[in-house]
Copies of this chain bind each other. A is one copy, B any other.
Amino acid sequence: MAGNTFGNRFRITTYGESHGRALGVIIDGCPAGIDLDEAVIQKELDRRRPGAHASDSDGTERDPKLNPATTARKEADECEILSGVFERKTTGTPISIIVRNTDQISSDYGDIKTKFRPGHADYPFYEKYGIRDYRGGGRSSGRETIGRVAAGAIARQILGTLGITVRAWTSEAAGIVCKTFDEAEIENNAMRACDGDAAAKMLDRVIELKAAGDSAGGIISCQVTGLPPGLGEPVFDKLDARIAQAVLSIGAIKGIEFGAGFEAARMAGSENNDPMRRDPETGKTEFLTNNAGGVLGGLSTGADLVFRAAVKPVSSISREQKTVDTSGNDCTISVHGRHDVCLCPRIVPVIEAMTALTIVDLYLVNRTATLS
């Protein structure tokens, strides 16, 4: 595959760079007859924007000082559906969604025309394509996730009709770990953390780092409930393998683990295996523990799908760093401009989108596992 397409049946192709005219996505293979609530797409895009969280979902721009973790750039990001919907239902034809770029202050980036920013994709992109697109991150910019989130909103709506829910949150950031889980907290604080007290400490730390011209990373947890057992296509399109690809394709993600994850490496089999039993009330098969994270042999088990993703600290920091220029000579660089300090709150909706896209695709493919 050319790299800008994801999925086999529910297939998305995205386009757009940070400083081009527009970004967007085409969704191909969306079943016909789905109620498409276009406002839901805009709402998900709003969650993705800098300075936004739950109470902003009506589109109001919050004072970015209220989210010191994210950039002060205003990104209006209004979406428009160009095709694939008729009388509020999907037609089965490709759905194209466009978002025009409006806030592009070139002077934010002009001084890095010939230098490679450490931690960014500048250097390998230059080696690959022979082009230094110095306007922000170009295609490697986080704005590229706009297309993913727009498509993910449709995927989430489809999953909703199937009783499947995808939810992610920040479980650790800037060295602070969440101790409790309260779902209502997630959209209630600027870190999208599941623990309000931890969120406050995270923001304190973020403000310190920002003042120091530095940045922070974190860990995002994701949980999918309501999955039927059997989704996934062995051996290479296993559910966990495809989600790993989907999540690692998001910028700044450096690792993923399912269920007990790296801790499973230290367990004995008798501790790690999840026993099964028959639920006396419903008669259904259930797992007594979930070290597997909801996946066995690459197929969903019916238990919650659970995974965690590692987010590296933002690479654009104003501290001076050693680097080379496009001629290969030593130099230093300070990356100024309006940058995020910690990406976790903005990546939470992106992880939800990619997870939903993967599951809808495997759900559709699974409809041909048998002819019944």
A125-B299 in contact (CB<8A): yes
B131-A91 in contact (CB<8A): yes
| A314-372 interface with B by 8 A CB criterion | 314-317, 319, 321-324, 328-330, 364-372
Asked whether any CB of chain B lies closer than 8 Å to the CB of A110, the reply is: no
Report B-chain residues with C-beta under 8 Å of the C-beta of A1.
8, 11, 233, 236-237
B229-A249 in contact (CB<8A): no
A299-B82 in contact (CB<8A): no
Asked whether any CB of chain B lies closer than 8 Å to the CB of A16, the reply is: yes
What is the count of identical protomers in the complex?
A: 4
**Closest CB in chain B relative to A23 CB, distance in Å:** 7
Asked whether any CB of chain B lies closer than 8 Å to the CB of A92, the reply is: yes
Report B-chain residues with C-beta under 8 Å of the C-beta of A106.
none
Given contacts A3-B235, A257-B254, are A317 and B241 in contact (CB under 8 A)? no
Binary interface encoding of chain A residues 208-221 relative to chain B, with 1 for a CB under 8 A from any of its CBs, else 0: 01000011111100
**Closest CB in chain B relative to A116 CB, distance in Å:** 6
Asked whether any CB of chain B lies closer than 8 Å to the CB of A33, the reply is: yes
Binds B, one of A52-60, A61-69, A94-102, A183-191: A94-102
Asked whether any CB of chain B lies closer than 8 Å to the CB of A71, the reply is: no
Cβ-defined partner of A131 (8 Å) among B3, B92, B124, B265:
B92
Report B-chain residues with C-beta under 8 Å of the C-beta of A50.
none
A368-B364 in contact (CB<8A): yes
Cβ-defined partner of A273 (8 Å) among B86, B237, B301, B321:
B321
5 smallest A-B Cβ distances: which pairs?
A121-B297, A3-B233, A255-B257, A128-B230, A215-B269
